[in-house]
Amino acid sequence: MCGIVGILGKHEVAPMLVEGLRRLEYRGYDSAGIATVNDGVLDRRRAVGKLVNLSDLLVHQPLAGKSGIGHTRWATHGGPSATNAHPHRTGPVAVVHNGIIENYKDLRAELAKAGIDAETETDTETVAMLTKLHIDQGMAPVDAAFATVERLEGAFALAFLFDGEGDLMVAARKGSPLAIGHGEGEMFVGSDAIALAPMTDQITYLEEGDRAVLTRTSLEIRDEAGRLVNRDQRTIRMDAARVDKAGHKHFMSKEIAEQPTVLAGALSAYLTQSGIALPDPGIDFTKVDRLTMVACGTAYYACFTAKYWFEQLAGLPVEVDIASEFRYREPPITPGTTALFVSQSGETADTLAALRYCAGKADSIVSVVNVPESSIARESDLALPIHAGVEIGVASTKAFTCQLTVLLLLALKAAQARGRLSDDRLTGILADLRALPGTFNAALDRDHVMKEVSQDLAKARDILFLGRGLMYPLALEGALKLKEISYIHAEAYASGELKHGPIALIDTSVPVVVMAPKDSLFEKTISNMQEVMARGGKVVLVTDAAGAAIAGDEAWKTIILPQVPEVLSPLLYALPAQLLAYHTAIAKGTDVDQPRNLAKSVTVE
Ligand code: G6P
């Protein structure tokens, strides 16, 4: 949700800033802009729409300079326009910002009295305006920026650049992530290490409340109380920051195809000869009475799937909640509760706030994350990486299946610790899991079938997804994927709930995707499928060979996946959820990797 990058470099920075923004574009793509200082003169270029528009603008109106900041925006305050695009500039100060300044109206009123009026509708502009006021009052640029940061309420990652200062940048972090990159006589800032990967692998993550003063050869960090502090400098694995489509047309299709590899990687990170190993301090499931799981979006559906696993396999009561609802309900967290947060980015504002609500109340805070350096990982007692690698497509795919993998391993560990799973059964499930990447590969071979079905789905105005048991959360994920990237209205229901209302929606124009492996609930799901067909509904049955043999002939279309044990079915049935959405979106001609109005990393409430 907004990406920022800053460079004090040795060479012209405009192309480097644009490359950094390209790697951050998944965070937002309403507009983009850069500002530089060239021979002491601050200037900027901004363009509405995708980053390519800024690149085009820079061809016609180049921007010279070896110091600069850049921004790619996901609009919060003020619509997408060139005026509202960052960097925001007031007098000698330019600022890029990720987050929300909650007290911007109060600040704006105060600044208006001092004769400084806003030119944009954004919250961010007040940061530049206030800093200018402080400079007008006689403060040096660094002090002026620090004094501004003191006044800000809300969440921010900020980078400041100043007219007349070619070797100075100020950065600050509260609630939104920010990384500093170290070069040889160069210094960088970025929303994440991925942005900085072409320039450096030496990264220092700012902590909550930190402010930093950068020159090309120095970095000074102060904490919220103003004390000078040391923060670790670490080397980032460059392969972890690779951002390319590897010959695929879209990041989403690359990430879908990568799943057998990353699933194998996630499994090998947790499986040993003797079973499942968690990093220290582990979890003593014999002492856990209740699990509270919280997440957003696709990660929420991973939690919802895991609820079935934890309850059925381990007999452990589980509550699952949407992060944006959780803390405002003020749920009591009783002793014996372990709180578990699932997040690809590890920076989702609502999930992080839910974690902070539970800190000090729950016995233990556990997170399942893709970014080990993220805020959610760092604020957890135990952070379990999912090893999915960088995920760029806004619609989450491989992160979902890797989240499911780690959550299933946790549920199995819980079942074993609580004496609900024999060693033999565990060994059997783990053997099936080890075989899953191969099975997933075989399922990927069915891509052409899903592509064909999608040509018809693309003609629909509304689509329903149905599932029972473990397939219910998968139906929800299928509907979410479809609406996210194809913009077709899609809803999911538990199959058994259909007759309590949604069945009224069924007519011959509504395709109904029924997720139904030949599992213990198959017959019941098929009865619900019959109810749909009896009302003219067009059923796309997603099943296995055994299921197709029973019900395939009656369906409008049938997609046959390889057979997997029931407990593993969510991992495999994620694939049709993803591919149906992908191919339908392609058929509709939408922007698959950057769907309208969405952003991948949602760092505002
Ligand atoms: C956004 C993304 C979703 C993602 C959700 C949660 O809405 O578009 O794909 O599932 O955020 O993100 P997280 O990083 O916490 O998993």
Residues 508-540: tens digit of each pLDDT? 889 999 999 999 999 989 988 888 888 889 999
Tokens of 537: 């509904």
* CB-based contact 543:551 (threshold 8 Å): yes
How far apart are alpha carbons 235 and 179 in whole angstroms?
A: 12
User: Residue 60: how many CB atoms within 10 A of its CB?
Assistant: 7
pLDDT range class, residue 241, cuts 50, 70, 90: low
pLDDT score, position 603 = 67
Q: pLDDT tens digit string along 137-181?
A: 999 999 999 999 999 999 899 999 999 999 999 999 998 889 999
Ligand 1: residue whose CA is nearest its atom 3: 297
The 3-state secondary structure of 58-109 reads: HHHCCCCCCEEEEEEECCCCCCCCCCCCCCEEECCEEEEEEEEECCHHHHHH
Instruction: Tell me, rounded to whole angstroms, the distance of Cα 554 from its chain centroid.
Output: 39
Residue whose Cα lies nearest atom 1 of ligand 1: it is 600
Inform me whether the pLDDT recorded for 240 exceeds 60.
Answer: no
Q: Name residues contacting ligand 1 (CB within 6 A).
A: 296-299, 343-345, 348, 351, 394-396, 598, 600-602
Confidence at residue 219, expressed as pLDDT on a 0 to 100 scale: 97
State the distance from the centre of ligand 1 to the C-alpha of 458, rounded, in angstroms.
24
Nearest alpha-carbon partner for 422 in 313, 519, 315, 316: 313
Q: Whose CA is nearest to atom 5 of ligand 1?
A: 297
Q: Given this model, what pLDDT does residue 550 score?
A: 94
Q: What is the mean pLDDT of residues 4-10?
A: 97
Residue-by-residue DSSP string for 401-452 = HHHHHHHHHHHHHHHHHTT-S-HHHHHHHHHHHHHHHHHHHHHHTTHHHHHH
Confidence class of residue 29 from pLDDT cuts 50, 70 and 90?
A: confident
In this predicted model, what pLDDT tens digit does every residue of 555-573 receive, in sequence order?
999 999 999 999 999 999 9
Averaged over 531-551, what is the pLDDT? 93
Average pLDDT score over the chain: 94
Q: What is the Cβ-side half-sphere exposure of residue 65, based on CA atoms within 13 angstroms? A: 31
What mean pLDDT is predicted for residues 427-452? 95
| Distance from residue 239's CA to the centre of ligand 1 (Å) | 23
Q: How far apart are CA 185 and CA 4, in angstroms?
A: 21
Is it true that the peptide bond before 281 is cis, omega within 30 degrees of 0? Answer: yes
Phi, psi of 30 (to 5 degrees): -80, -35
* pLDDT of res. 531: 87
Residue nearest to atom 7 of ligand 1 (CA): 297
Tokens linked to 560: 């046959």
Distance of CA 293 to the CA centre of its chain: 17
Query: Ligand 1 center to residue 510 CA distance, Å?
Result: 28
Among 345, 480, 596, residue to substitute to test ligand 1 (most atoms within 8 Å of Cβ): 345
Q: How far is the CA of 318 from the centre of ligand 1 (A)?
A: 21
**How many beta carbons lie within 10 A of that of residue 379, not counting itself?**
17
Spatial separation of the C-alpha atoms in residues 311 and 561, rounded to whole Å: 26
Instruction: Determine the atom of ligand 1 nearest the C-alpha atom of 297.
Output: 10
pLDDT value, residue 469: 96
> Comparing C-alpha atoms, which of 15, 71, 5, 68 is closest to residue 37?
68
From 252, 298, 373, mutation site for ligand 1 pocket: most ligand atoms within 8 A of C-beta: 298
What pLDDT does 471 receive? Answer: 97
| Interval between CA 299 and ligand 1 midpoint (Å) | 7
Its pTM stands at: 0.84
Please tell me the predicted confidence (pLDDT) of residue 98: 92
Q: Judging by beta carbons within 10 Å of its beta carbon (0-12, 13-18, 19+), is residue 359 exposed, middle or buried? A: middle
Least confident window among 33-47, 268-282, 496-510, 531-545: 496-510
Atom of ligand 1 nearest to the CA of 403: 16
Nearest CA to ligand 1 atom 15: 343
Query: What pLDDT is attached to residue 239?
Result: 61
The values of phi and psi at residue 3, to 5°, are -120, 140
Q: With bands split at pLDDT 50, 70 and 90, how would you rate the model's confidence at 379?
A: very high
| Residues 133, 134, 136, 142, CA torsion sign | negative
User: Which are the catalytic amino acids?
Assistant: 2, 600
Ligand 1: centre distance to CA 578 (Å): 15
Position in ligand 1 atom list of the atom nearest CA 395 = 9
The minimum-distance atom of ligand 1 relative to the CA of 598 is: 8
